[in-house]
Amino acid sequence: MSESNIKRASLAEITAMRKRGELYYNPDAPEGPSLGPDFWANAEIVEPKGTTSVHLKVDAEVFDYFKQGGKGHLTRMQNVLKAYVDAMRKAG
């Protein structure tokens, strides 16, 4: 979500918006379905893995290719590297 999609409002502003009917809240909305015991029986806790900061030199053409997509180019580069690692692991 980009910053342009985020509106920050104080509690007073939110209260005023609600009084004007600009915010919709349905107190009679149904609850979602229960996940049930089968879901929880197979659930497992997965601890997030940390990241490692590195200095990496890449060819200018490689960097420019990822940078042309705009913000998030480092994440895109990491996703390509992850896909490569996954493919190598599957290949054995």
Render pLDDT for 36-69 as a digit per residue (tens, 0 to 9): 888 888 888 888 888 888 899 999 999 999 999 8
pTM greater than 0.95 (yes/no): no
Q: Please give the average per-residue pLDDT across 5-32, as a whole number.
A: 86
Q: What is the pLDDT of residue 3?
A: 62
Confidence label for 85 from pLDDT (cuts 50, 70 and 90): very high
Residue with tokens 């600009």: 22
Q: Is the dihedral of CA 25, 29, 35, 36 positive or negative?
A: positive
Q: How much of the chain exceeds pLDDT 90, in percent?
A: 41
Confidence label for 24 from pLDDT (cuts 50, 70 and 90): confident
d(CA 55, CA 17): 48
CA geometry: angle 80, 92, 83, nearest 5 deg? 10
Q: What is the pLDDT of residue 86?
A: 92
Core vs surface per residue 62-73: b (16+ CB within 10 A) or e? eeeebeeeeeee
Q: What is the pLDDT of residue 62?
A: 93
d(CA 4, CA 1): 8
